[in-house]
Chain A
């Protein structure tokens, strides 16, 4: 039985997030005090580097290395940015951390500021999270009042303060260069890296952009030490990861498990299995940037590298669980709809490519696609992957490629047999009445909005396929399971 281990969410739900004394009571701001009074900035970076902490926003870049880059560059001003522009469908760990334990992020940002030599921190938070904004503002205010933010922290001569910037409803602003442009008051469009923000970021100054969950790990690492953190997780991915379980799983919500926990443990032991005892089909990790993992991957130990090997990615940690009733073509179409809506439009592969991919998927769900379309789908996906400008575009085809690889038969069924095996794609369905089961109660005939069902009372009914609009009303109404959906 897999055990949860809470590091990033260690205080969420246990302390009053609006009371700084509660946070101090569980050892809060000890890490900051330790850094400022006992450790040099180089030592702080060394501890974070040795701990093996990697960026929890999805990229998985080693945090300590990022900090050391920013430290190395000389500049009159440096910046710490907390990326709280969480927007992956199915991911809500940043919201939960900010709502449940905002001080851990405030403390970690001050630690990061000390480590790289920055005096200003900014939290870029999306406007869709009003409660998180409110809690964070309160936390910053309280920390300032008590002297944990502001001038001369802990008598060390180090100044640090945090301000908030609000997103305005653009998913692409979660990409770090786009985020920085948005902070500068520009359109949130990404630029080519390098230069990385650690070298030239906000207003051209060295800037460290870290995710909320990454920051939430820092105080624990400082207090308990890198060696402790190092013992948790797998060889290349240390520590824990917070996952958000959503979809057709019994226990939805946030969990935090050590890296290397298997998918089976997450879904069956912690998640309680599939709702209604249905069969597990797939889990989409990494939201619109990730891919589908199937029953074949249930025993994979989850970490950054193992997921990439399987054509998915860690992403920010959203897990959307799907059961036998979900059509994978429709799922891929859903994610493409999302990226098509959220592409910033700067580079052509992403702007036009997403639209074209969506059109082919739409055609497939309508049963009008050909096998050539499937080849186009594949080659176009690969072309977008190779040529798009930023992470959003490069990972956009992942849901298509991974579902095509794992569920090729399902795609073929749509194209060749004009059938949707999961019974989701309405235009490919056919409703018929089982002659032996129908008792002639007339429920279906009365429910049918198109008058397509005929038959006498107490005699089996028939559906006129030319009139049927495939709304499924008869299927839902029938109490004898006599209406068949194929």
Chain B
């Protein structure tokens, strides 16, 4: 990673800390911002966040490893979360799961080699009456069918134009 990129990252973090306040309660919001922009929390990020908030990096690691929406492993630009709980299972979410795995060529918990898609399970998306439900970044899809999986993925792929990812950077680490 270039020194200038490191500086940019540090600047971003300092800016977020200024925005959310410099006490401990800013930790999760800051990490959520980093996750949104860089798709994972690197060791360097944890060190910088710890320094700026004046806490031990281990405390930051403890938080990062606890929550499933923030994590150490780089994730894709589109994070697809399929609901795995009982009412979606009753409505056939396993067919959707198979379709997603086939279409993306990855298993759950993995990211496509091009870094575009991550496939994950989610525990209840609150769409129990209209399952199977699936969350793609911030968009929720209900009553998903194997056919509509195609359409949703196609739509994501089309969105790969530069304008969609303004303000987003590839992670420098």
Contacts and interface: CB of A to CB of B under 8 A. Distances in A.
Interface of A: 86-92, 94-95, 127-131, 165-171, 182-188, 244-248, 252-254, 284, 318, 320, 326, 331, 334-335, 338, 341-342, 344
B70 A244 contact: no
A338 B123 contact: yes
Contacts of B86: 89-90, 247, 284, 320, 331, 334-335, 338
Contact of B25 (A183, A247, A252): A183
A170 B66 contact: yes
A185 B24 contact: yes
B32 A166 contact: yes
Contacts of B59: 186
Given A182-B28, A245-B129, A334 B68 contact: no
B66 A188 contact: yes
Contact of A92 (B23, B67, B126): B126
Interface in B62-113: 62-63, 66-70, 81, 85-87, 89-90
Contacts of A331: 86
Contact of B66 (A129, A131, A187): A187
Given A90-B86, A185-B28, A246 B124 contact: no
Nearest to B131: A246
B60 to A, nearest CB: 9
B26 A128 contact: no
A169 B25 contact: no
Nearest to B138: A130
B29 interface: yes
B20 to A, nearest CB: 10
A170 B135 CA distance: 16
A127 B124 CA distance: 12
Given A166-B32, A334-B86, A184 B66 contact: no
Nearest to B89: A334
A326 B27 CA distance: 44
Interface of B: 23-29, 31-32, 59, 62-63, 66-70, 81, 85-87, 89-90, 122-131, 135, 138-140
| Best-buried of B31, B125, B127, B131 by chain A (most CB within 10 Å) | B125
11 contacts: A89-B85, A92-B128, A128-B81, A168-B67, A169-B68, A170-B66, A170-B67, A170-B68, A185-B23, A247-B86, A247-B87
A161 B127 CA distance: 30
Given A169-B69, A334-B89, A185 B63 contact: yes
A318 B128 contact: yes
A90 B85 contact: yes
A185 B25 contact: yes
Contact of A185 (B26, B128, B131): B26
Given A90-B87, A166-B32, A128 B27 contact: no
B128 A246 contact: yes
Given A244-B128, A320-B86, A186 B70 contact: no
Contacts of A245: 129
Contacts of B122: 128, 169
Contacts of A186: 24, 59, 62-63
Given A166-B32, A185-B24, A244 B123 contact: no
A79 to B, nearest CB: 11
Contacts of B138: 130
B125 A128 contact: yes
A166 B66 contact: no
A274 to B, nearest CB: 12
B26 A342 contact: no
Contacts of B126: 86, 91-92, 94-95, 128-129
Nearest to B90: A247
Contacts of B85: 89-90, 334, 338
A187 B125 CA distance: 22
A284 B90 CA distance: 13
A214 B100 CA distance: 39
Question: Shortest 10 CB-CB distances between A and B: which pairs?
Answer: A185-B27, A89-B85, A168-B67, A252-B129, A169-B68, A92-B126, A246-B128, A169-B69, A168-B69, A246-B87
Given A246-B87, A252-B130, 16 more contacts: A90-B85, A92-B126, A127-B32, A130-B139, A166-B29, A168-B67, A184-B24, A185-B23, A185-B28, A186-B62, A246-B128, A252-B128, A318-B128, A334-B85, A335-B86, A338-B85
Contacts of A188: 66-67
A184 B68 contact: no
A246 B70 CA distance: 30
A168 B129 contact: no
A423 B23 CA distance: 56
A90 B128 contact: yes
Given A90-B87, A169-B67, A331-B86, A341 B123 contact: yes
A183 B25 CA distance: 6
A447 to B, nearest CB: 17
A338 B89 CA distance: 12
